Structure 1
Amino acid sequence: MKIAVLGTRGIPNHYGGFEQFAEFFSVYAAQKGHEVVVYNSHNHPYIEQSYKGVQIVKCYDPEYKMGTAGQYIYDLNCILDIRKRKFDVVLQLGYTSSSIWSFLLPRKALIVTNMDGLEWKRTKFSKPVQKLLRFSEKLAVKSSDVLVADSIGIQQHLQQRFGVDSTYIPYGAFQFDQPDAAQIQSFEVAPHQYDLLIARLEPENNVETILDGVALAKQTRKMLVIGNHQTAFGNYLKHKFGNTHNIVFVGSVYDLEKLNNLRYFSNIYFHGHSVGGTNPSLLEAMASQAYIVAHNNIFNRAILKENADYFSTAEEVADLVSHKQKSDNLRFVSENFGAIATNFSWEKINDAYLQLFTTRLAENQQPKN
């Protein structure tokens, strides 16, 4: 197959979840003998024209000049380039800034869209932008040949709102089983003597609820908050919790080895995401053998099932911080670690995508009655 991947800033990953998936999937598909093109922003730091057998096409991306509006121009440039090439499959990762150009997608290619999360629920967006995103979601559903939902919650949403079927393929992770306590020394914490939150500091990730609970608990154990705090909401949180001395705003950390060790050696790992699909950071916490306390919603429960503790309020967080230890919840840790190999291995996820493409292309080639 000849496969195009768009909707990310590019590979190798220097940004986030979809970029990581694009890297792992495209390299896997290329190793299986398929011709794969990944579209990169012209600002991406990787300057070569191929990466581990994957062809890279760079397109002009004015986001650095225009902000979010620039993403729409970048996606347009990618789609215009796609029209020049004969792809069997176009894999779109997300729809927020590409679906308005869906009428330009090549009709002969199989259009597969990973529908991401409920982007229109994100409170960082104004009401007009949320309305636009709901419209974009509708366009993506109408213009795609195949919809992929990376969580059961998203699959149910697509069925309930649009009456359409989708294929459930979750995100993936690699099991982490070689901890090194030296990797956490620079954070001035001792193994299992700190709690941890890794997230974009946004309201729908329940960061404030978690930190309210930590403050209520009046524990001396450190709470590390990892994520870019140089934002309006980040500044608000730093001001609100400035006198809660065990809450430490670390900032962004991109070193995967450090992140895996921080998760492994944490006492409680908090996961507050509430509007996404299968969030990559949740699987990475499972894969890193963290004891997880998650926000109580359908997305998190579909992945963790009964192998976590859940919270909805700051008071519940405070109670968990005061009374829960990783050492008392090793069964949760073991079950989640095993689930990565059974249900969320990258090889299984990547192969599921290729099998989906192969099956649907074969169906399309069959003569119609």
Structure 2
Amino acid sequence: MTNHPVHNVSTGHVIIMGIRGLPAAHGGFETFAERLALYLVERGWKVTVYCQGSASGRREVDVWEGVERIHIPVKRDGSIGTIEFDIKATMDVLSLPGTILTLGYNTGFLCSFLSWRRRKNFINMDGLEWKRAKYSTPAKIYLWVNERLAAWAGTKLVADHPSIAEHLATRVPHDRIATIPYGAPGIDQADITLLADYGVEAHRYLTVIARAEPENSILEIVQGFSAKPRGMKLLVLGKYTRDHDYHCQVMAAASDEVLFPGPVYEASRIQALRFYSLAYIHGHQVGGTNPSLVEALGAGNAVIAHDNKFNRWVAGGAGLYFVDAADVSKQIDDLIADPSLQRELSSQAVKRWLEAFTWPDILAQYEELMVLKC
């Protein structure tokens, strides 16, 4: 674990943009933003967060857990509504002094505008979104252009993975890039009684927690697990419907030992399902430091992961790796047959989490970065 300087007095005003709002309800970036905002408030910073939507239909300001929230009304839904929100928030922030932290580059053109207005803007550049198979060609072009606009405009770019930093270095000088990964809490106990709700027993199941998309290798994972009877379950969390072709392919490939309980959001349930799992299977093919994989390490999960540079750096010695369904089947065979291998991978998971992904260390790195630049 890295040691960082401690700052106990107010050192500035940070304005967080690029999320839907707080408290967190929409995934990894919001979870991070909530943790960072509360951490900085406790350390004496003023923190403002822009939130999408306003119950009154007007701009509203309130305070949540010491964090100032500015609620911006939007008239549209979906991605268009998000762009509308980002534009309105960008116009609003021009009158608000402080250092901006933008999460994501989906509206990089607005980052360029803020740069033109000489605003300090740290940008977490997320993953290689424009490479994701789920997006249409026009959407990929839009993301590709905005990634470059954000890279050129940011005061400092934050990469959550060394490979993302290497990619960004083809756009801007190295000294404008900081590498700070995503964090995760440690889990050393959980409520075992919750497992009964999902029809599984401790250490007699494996977990998959991911969006049901081809680039997350869900089909290959289910095919590999279902290649033979296992004597245990595969718990595939997430939303699966009969009116989606890929979802249907995944469900059709599943043996009777594969369970689809739907999405699970309650923290205590996710903790229990992670903590008592024999292993976590991670199929993400594109991205940087994926929150779900880091959270598995914090829970001490042995990992079976898609073989790519992103996952190998994160999981390191805690992982067995696969490229196709046959590999998935073999790695599951090896793990089930050798309890000592599972114990070793679990030990390596906790070690890797302590080395690089604890929240106090991650948040201290962000504070240090902003102290140096504010």
| TM-score using structure 1 length | 0.90
Partner secondary structure for residue 105 of structure 1: helix
* Contact 1:99-1:137 at 8 Å conserved across structures: yes
Shift in Å, 1:232: 2.6
Summarize deviations over 1:223-281 as a string: whole Å, max 9, x none.
11101224735533355336x22222111101111111111111221011121211111
Aligned residues, how many?
354
Matched, 1:40 2:21: no
CA distance in 2, matches of 1:245, 1:105: 54
Summarize deviations over 1:143-195 as a string: whole Å, max 9, x none.
11100000111111112355555100011111111122112110011111111
Residue number in structure 2 paired with 1:21: 32
Q: Write the letter of the residue equivalent to 1:241.
A: A
Shift in Å, 1:214: 1.4
Partner secondary structure for residue 49 of structure 1: strand
| 1:232 pairs with one of 233, 239, 244 | 244
Residue number in structure 1 paired with 2:358: 345
Shift in Å, 1:322: 2.4
* Contact 1:120-1:133 at 8 Å conserved across structures: yes
| 2:183 pairs with one of 145, 163, 172 | 172
Partner secondary structure for residue 309 of structure 1: strand
Q: CA separation of 1:322/1:48 partners in 2, compared to 1, >3 Å: closer, same or farther?
A: farther
| 1:331 pairs with one of 339, 344, 351 | 344
* Contact 2:189-2:275 at 8 Å conserved across structures: no
CA distance in 2, matches of 1:174, 1:239: 32
| 1:150 pairs with one of 152, 160, 163 | 160
Partner secondary structure for residue 139 of structure 1: helix
Q: Write the letter of the residue equivalent to 1:338.
A: K
Residue number in structure 2 paired with 1:105: 114
Which segment drifts farther, 231-240 or 341-350? 231-240
Q: CA separation of 1:48/1:182 partners in 2, compared to 1, >3 Å: closer, same or farther?
A: farther
Q: CA separation of 1:21/1:193 partners in 2, compared to 1, >3 Å: closer, same or farther?
A: same
Q: Write the letter of the residue equivalent to 1:27.
A: L
Residue number in structure 2 paired with 1:193: 204
Partner secondary structure for residue 226 of structure 2: helix
Residue number in structure 1 paired with 2:104: 94
Residue number in structure 1 paired with 2:141: 131
Matched, 1:265 2:265: no
Q: CA RMSD in A?
A: 2.0
Residue number in structure 2 paired with 1:118: 128
Residue number in structure 1 paired with 2:291: 280
CA distance in 2, matches of 1:91, 1:271: 29
CA distance in 1, matches of 2:221, 2:61: 42
Give 5+ residue unaligned stretches, structure 1: 362-369
| 2:42 pairs with one of 13, 25, 31 | 31
* Contact 1:261-1:288 at 8 Å conserved across structures: no
CA distance in 1, matches of 2:240, 2:54: 23
| TM-score using structure 2 length | 0.89
* Contact 1:241-1:247 at 8 Å conserved across structures: no
Give 5+ residue unaligned stretches, structure 2: 1-11
Partner secondary structure for residue 50 of structure 2: strand
Partner secondary structure for residue 26 of structure 2: coil
Shift in Å, 1:222: 1.5
* Contact 1:217-1:322 at 8 Å conserved across structures: no
CA distance in 1, matches of 2:131, 2:101: 24
Q: CA separation of 1:43/1:194 partners in 2, compared to 1, >3 Å: closer, same or farther?
A: farther
Matched, 1:250 2:251: no
Q: CA separation of 1:237/1:50 partners in 2, compared to 1, >3 Å: closer, same or farther?
A: farther
